[in-house]
Structure 1
Amino acid sequence: MADNSTEHEGRVALVTGGGRGFGKAFGEALSALGAHVVLADINGDAAAEAAAELTAKGLSATGVACDVADEAEVGAVVSEVVERHGGLDILVNNAGLHAAYNKPFTELGLAKVRRVLDVNVMGTVICSLAAHEAMRGRPGAAIVNISSSAAYANRSIYGVSKLAVRGLTVSFAREFAADGIRVNAIAPGLIFTDTVRAQLSPAEADRVLGEQILRQEGREQDIVEALLYLVSSKASFVTGETLRVTGGFALSV
């Protein structure tokens, strides 16, 4: 088996929502393979702490404060990355609003509906456009968006926003292909992180497991492995796709 421990040596990755959860795990995985990782999070302290944890392990990372719905903030972050590192190879559009917005429109109200669209949809657009020039022509350049299994159920504005992310993935894949940038997405199912376990009742967890084909708990590492595949040379002929990592939840043809 080939040694891929330095697969991303010399490459630069920007991970939004990088202060916690998937984003933090993505950052650790990419930096462990040699990349310098910029963890951007609306909570700048969380981003800085996550980066400090990685550097303490001998990995290369920095943490920055950034609201992905703020065009100026995103532009400033990308400009700083280019100034310090010369360009950008990997963008992970992971930042998003989740559980609290997975409710009926009538319960949320227009202000919260706008906010989830600003972050989940416009955040993906803003970050992708800001990164485009910095990624143009870089060998193996790749963007990975984070959608959700909720995009296939569409029971709330959250699901609709993640359906839009799937659509954006196809559109940006078409538009950026000429510049050598692949664009794909991951749609995670229910992943049993410590936070999810604390928030989810046993009955709700059992309901979701019952809707899966594989009656097993999704792990954070399952999503990390999907990301590492999509940004690797193994996926060099893959673009515009949404990889479902759901245990078969809401499976359809």
Structure 2
Amino acid sequence: MADNEFQDSEFRDRVAFITGGGRGFGKAFGAALSARGARVVLADIDGEAATSAAAELSANGADVTGLACDVADESGVAAAMDAVATRHGGLDILVNNAGLHAAYNRPFHELGLSTVQRVFDVNVMGTVMCTMAAHPLMTGRPGAAIVNISSSAAYGNHTVYGVSKLAVRGLTMSFAREYAADGIRVNAIAPGLILTDTVRAELPEADLKRVLGQQLLSRAGSETDIVDALLYLASSKSAFITGETLRVTGGFALSA
């Protein structure tokens, strides 16, 4: 990004807290926001990954910090938000990105109760706890925005993972209603097949072809597609949008 774009960015000096920030989408979100002048906190259950990602993104002078945080641990989430308040004084953007993913896209009876509990603790209650803990830091701040990461699996999918991401869609609507009076918008992104390094390594070729065959667009998605959606929902360009889930699926959602 050119210097004049950096200076003119509406994200300049806004404070963003991103869960699951040590890698994947979370790190990509942090890179995009910090490149536009935001002060970014990357939180991850893997504290070393968060710290390493923060150091990498800070190399060009950006304000990025990393910290360990298990979104399913209430006291840990509270401590993380206290750290944000101490360092930055408030919060403008919360990205609820942390989650358990593809390995849990299976029927309930196959995973067993303890595993199901963990998926819902992270994907659902993690979103609840981070959102509620962030609320007092975001109230009354102009342009405050929460973006949750759901999934195309939330549409027409009855696996443990899909139902947990369906719950994220519901939480998005509920918190949008609850926080509107406080000036906080709440939206979500439902990514389809996005070829991250992890997906490329783990997704069988047959599954890739099957999903691509169900899309209206013939290409797989990229991290950039999701980052662009995040920047839109966190910006003033979406100032009249709240309670919505933006499906970024190449048309896959229309086959559900």
> For this structure pair, what is the TM-score category when the shorter chain's length is used for normalisation?
over 0.9
Does structure 1 residue 33 correspond to structure 2 residue 22? no
> Counterpart of 2:97?
94
Identify if the C-alpha distance between structure 1 residues 69 and 152 changes in structure 2 by more than 3 Å, giving closer, same or farther: same
- 1:24-72 deviations in whole A, cap 9, x for unaligned? 0000001011111000000000000000001112211000000001110
Contact 2:124 2:168 in 1 (8 A): yes
Unmatched runs of 5 consecutive residues or more in structure 2? none
One-letter identity of the residue aligned with 1:37: V
TM-score by length of 2: 0.96
Aligned residues: CA RMSD: 1.2
Q: Which residue is equivalent to 2:164?
A: 161
What is the aligned counterpart of 2:108 among 105, 111, 128? 105
Partner of 2:180: 177
TM score, norm. by length of structure 1: 0.97
What is the percentage of aligned positions where both structures have the same residue? 73
Unpaired runs of 5+ residues, structure 1, are: none
Matches within 5 A, 1:101-140: 101-140=104-143
Deviation by residue 1:124-146 (Cα, 9 ceiling, x = unmatched): 00000000000000000000000
Q: Distance in 2 between matches of 1:252 and 1:88?
A: 38
Aligned pairs for 1:1-253 within 5 A: 4-5=5-6, 6-251=9-254
Q: Distance in 1 between matches of 2:78 and 2:14?
A: 20
Runs (4+) of structure 1 moved beyond 6 Å?
none
Partner deviation per Cα, 1:109-129 (whole Å, 9 max, x = no partner): 000000000000000000000
Shift of 1:4: 4.9
Q: Deviations over 1:152-210 (max 9, x none)?
A: 02230100000000000000000000000000000000101121111112111000001
Q: State the SS of the aligned residue for 1:186.
A: strand
